[in-house]
Amino acid sequence: MRYSDQRKRLVQELVEAGITDQNVLKAFEIVPRELFVLPEYVSYAYRNQPLPIDSNQTISQPLMIAIMLEKLRLNRDDIVMEIGTGSGYQTALLSNLAKEVCSIERIDILSLKARKVIDKLGYTNVFYKIGDGAAGWQKAFPPYSEFPKIIVSAAADKVPSMLIKQLSDPGILVVPVGGSNIQQLIVVEKSNSEVKESVHGGCSFVPLISESE
Ligand code: SAH
């Protein structure tokens, strides 16, 4: 089956699993996941499952990404901070949904490889940082100190305080929090100077490796 048909089938699966955000579904129909997986896994690219990538990391499960993107309630004016570039697949989805994406990855070869694929696809609204994402963006360019939307794709043992600090008011932060095998998806919403957390079911991510508190 052609990749474009496989993509349509994956989108149908996401719809059946309860994803309703039309912009999110559209992004999944556009981004070629086969370019972000290892060559030996291209025939599995459109299965709704995580797959191994370099450096013992994983490309996230499409449904899990879709759930997180939906929770972010993205609009075209949003500047998004993403922690855990990984393969760059979710970065490319975000690139279709937001104004700019500032993506942080601690493993340099992953960041560089992701960037190559994303550049080849022609996206120009993504900025990359190699380093500890739990410390936030802290980069001269683009010079943002606050983000209306933040998404973390690795499991933290608690919500990183620097990310709450760098969340705009109003703003939404989505982060898996918990132990090494299973975590809960936490949505942090900031509005009128108040910070509220809600819990949204189980998930399973590779750990966020951080020196920051
Ligand atoms: N959304 C990505 C997920 C990659 S897995 C994808 O679908 O490809 C999570 C990534 O988070 C890994 O690449 C890992 O190296 C990275 N990571 C872990 N701790 C990190 C940290 N403190 N800062 C930045 N990236 C981190």
Which residues, in sequence order, are bridge partners of residue 51? 59
pLDDT at 213: 65
| Domain 3-203 superfamily per CATH | Vaccinia Virus protein VP39 (3.40.50.150)
Atom of ligand 1 nearest to the CA of 53: 8
Could you tell me the CA-to-CA distances from 165 to 97, 117, 160, 175 in Å, in that order? 24, 31, 9, 14
Low-confidence ranges of the chain (pLDDT < 70): 213
Q: Where are the domains of the chain?
A: 3-203
Contact 110, 57 (CB under 8 A): yes
State in Å: Cα 62 to ligand 1 middle. Answer: 15
pLDDT in tens, 121-162: 999 999 999 999 999 998 778 999 999 999 999 999 999 999
pLDDT at 160: 97
Q: Does the model's pTM come out above 0.95?
A: yes
Q: Is residue 15 classed as helix, strand or coil in its secondary structure?
A: helix
pLDDT at 138: 83
pLDDT at 1: 87
State in Å: Cα 1 to ligand 1 middle. Answer: 31
